[in-house]
Amino acid sequence: MILNSKLNDALRFAINMSTEPDLPANDGMVSGNSPAKRYDYQIYYRVWHDDSPGHFEQMSRDFATLLGPLVKGREKGAVLDIGCGMGFALNGMKQLGFTDLQGLEQDEGQAQSARKMGLNVECVEDTIASLKQRPGRYSVVLLLDVLEHIPIAQQIQFLSAIKESMQDGGRLILQVPNANSLFSSTWRYNDFTHTTSYSPLSLRFCVLNAGFKQLAFVPESELERPSFRLWQKRARASWKYWLLEKLWRAAFEYRFAGPNKDYEVSFGLNIVAYVDKQTSLE
């Protein structure tokens, strides 16, 4: 009883802190009271991305490779990319044959970059309100590297609004930072606007509480054995990393998974998952 009471007190405190008027209420994808209006997110984003056509095309191809197997057969449907940034994933979907494409973005600078590439991107101050104006509209919704920016107390509400914007049988695809990764702390704290990272278990908790029924995870690729050209410095460094990663995975699986075969384990920098909206008859 004491433990439950402390947990409830902690939850109430977290909710109160997330709505404190002197604190950033969200990442700019929930409502108008957003750090995107106070912060220049380009300071962080430009570390990884630029406006060059070559970079845009390469990132688009990478997203097309990632998303292709998850959206096959849905090419005639409408696509919404929430927090679309400079439009890499949207353009990747275009390369896959999708034509009904819409992006939502809070940062005007990134939205302008996407528009320069011919993409349909709308700047919104209140994403939940915008989603409520689009009931049953989308066959595919992308939420890539976005959920971790939403305050924890608002994430389930946010996902519920996304669900209502989807067609029956529509698919939501998510990418979030992986708390199980060997570099999870760096990946979590690199971005000042991150509020959390996820294990597969915590992501499932969030998604299912938003009204979805079954979350599926995209399997990560196997670790490739490094080159045996040990006279090369790069090869020696690759072996050190490979061995460390192998040990991390073995220790993690032993400590947390054990005999529980239902415990999802993923070790990449990101977790990629998808969930379909059930039809009203299911």
Q: Regarding beta strands 138-144 and 121-123, do their DSSP bridges make them parallel or antiparallel, or are they unpaired?
A: unpaired
Global pTM reads 0.82
Query: Is the pLDDT score of 36 beyond 50?
Result: no
DSSP 29: S
Q: Regarding beta strands 215-217 and 270-276, do their DSSP bridges make them parallel or antiparallel, or are they unpaired?
A: antiparallel
C-alpha to C-alpha distances, 206 to 22, 82, 170, 197, 268, nearest whole angstrom:
26, 17, 18, 12, 20
CA 37 vs. chain centroid, Å, equals 21
Query: 251 falls in which pLDDT band (50, 70, 90)?
Result: confident
Query: Tens digit of pLDDT for each residue in 209-234?
Result: 999 998 999 988 777 888 888 888 88
Contact 161, 128 (CB under 8 A): yes
What is the mean predicted confidence (pLDDT) over 54-78? Answer: 94
Query: Tens digit of pLDDT for each residue in 78-106?
Result: 999 999 989 999 999 999 999 999 999 98
Query: 282 falls in which pLDDT band (50, 70, 90)?
Result: low
Check residue 234 and give its pLDDT: 86
Query: 191 falls in which pLDDT band (50, 70, 90)?
Result: confident
Check residue 30 and give its pLDDT: 61
The average confidence (pLDDT) of the chain is 83
Q: Where are the domains of the chain?
A: 24-220+272-276, 224-265
The class level of CATH for 24-220+272-276 reads alpha beta
